[in-house]
Amino acid sequence: MKVSVQAVAVWGKTAPSHSITAIMITDDQQTIVTGSQEGQICLWDLSSELKISSKEILFGHTASVTCLAKARE
C-alpha cells in the first residue's frame, strides 16, 4: 500500500533556515523529533493518518544537533 504524505508549511510564506541534521520518532509513534544545523530541536505531532503538525521548537544549543537519543526511564 502506497501512502502519500503532504508537505506542511508551518511558519508561513518564509521558511526558516532549519537544515535537518538528525531525526527520531518516539516509541509511541506520535511525535517526530528533528535536530537542525542551526542548533534547534523541533517536536512534531504525527497523527494516525500520517499528518504532521508542529508542536514545539526548542532553542539554546550553540552548535549543530547531529544526534538525538531517547532517555531511559
Each residue's pLDDT tens digit, 4-50 = 555 555 555 665 566 888 999 998 889 999 998 888 899 999 888 88
**Taking the chain, what is the end-to-end CA distance rounded to the nearest angstrom?**
36
| Cα 26 from Cα 72, distance rounded (Å) | 12
CB 64 within 8 A of CB 37: yes
Give the dihedral sign, CA 11/14/17/19: positive
| Cα 54 from Cα 56, distance rounded (Å) | 6
> Which residues make Cβ contacts (< 8 Å) with residue 73, sequence separation at least 6?
none
Confidence band, pLDDT 50/70/90 cuts, at residue 59 = confident
